[in-house]
């Protein structure tokens, strides 16, 4: 085994030293503005070929097995299932609870005035506070501060 390592060992005089890097690069001239070392450039789409092929393969596999895999992961690994669900949700989830939330104070006032006029036209006394009750009375035998 030692003979193999000895055969692979590079003699010191053949070893490349990093001490002379400046000397090696001193005669080099940078590319002229607007020109590169590869005038033909990268072929269009070459960067995306692997990604597109991968996505096509994943889509084909998903079409065949996707729903079954989801059910299996949900049953066997619910923590991973939850991670996936959470990862596909948007970072900010805006839930519109009430359409009135988006109205300005002026718009709300106009809406309220319109409702009040409709109630008045229907004969409802809006100013009387329908549903109002008498002031509560204390229980018998309980003293009040007045």
| pLDDT, tens digit (0-9, with 9 covering 90-100), for 68-97 | 999 999 999 999 999 988 888 887 767 767
What gap in Å lies between CA 130 and CA 124, rounded to an integer? 8
Cβ atoms within 10 A of the Cβ of 119, count?
A: 14
pLDDT at 14: 54
Instruction: Compute the average pLDDT of residues 100-110.
Output: 85
What gap in Å lies between CA 80 and CA 95, rounded to an integer? 25
Instruction: Compute the average pLDDT of residues 103-117.
Output: 88
Token reading at 71: 């059910």
**Dihedral angle sign, alpha carbons of residues 50, 54, 57, 59:** negative
Cβ pair 90, 80 in contact under 8 A: no
Token reading at 72: 């299996």
**pLDDT per residue over 16-68, tens digit each?**
556 677 777 777 777 777 777 777 777 777 778 888 888 899 999 999 999 99
pTM for the predicted model, two decimal places:
0.33
**pLDDT per residue over 9-21, tens digit each?**
666 555 555 667 7
pLDDT at 87: 87
The distance from CA 41 to its chain's CA centroid, rounded to whole angstroms, is: 34
pLDDT at 69: 92
Examine the pLDDT at 115 and tell me if it is beyond 60. yes
What gap in Å lies between CA 78 and CA 36, rounded to an integer? 52
């Amino acid at each position: 085994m030692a003979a193999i390592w000895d055969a692979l060992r590079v003699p010191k005089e053949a070893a490349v030293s990093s001490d002379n890097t400046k000397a090696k690069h001193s005669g080099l001239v940078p590319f002229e503005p607007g020109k590169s070392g590869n005038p033909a450039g990268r072929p269009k789409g070459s960067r995306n070929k692997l990604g597109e092929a991968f996505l096509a393969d994943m889509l084909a596999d998903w079409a065949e097995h996707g729903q079954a895999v989801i059910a299996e992961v949900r049953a066997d690994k619910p923590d991973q299932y939850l991670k996936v669900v959470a990862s596909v949700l948007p970072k900010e989830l805006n839930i519109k609870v009430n359409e009135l939330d988006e109205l300005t104070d002026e718009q709300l006032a106009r809406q309220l005035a319109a409702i009040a006029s409709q109630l008045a036209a229907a004969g409802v006394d809006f100013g009387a506070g329908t549903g109002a009750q008498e002031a509560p009375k204390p229980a018998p035998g309980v003293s009040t501060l007045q």
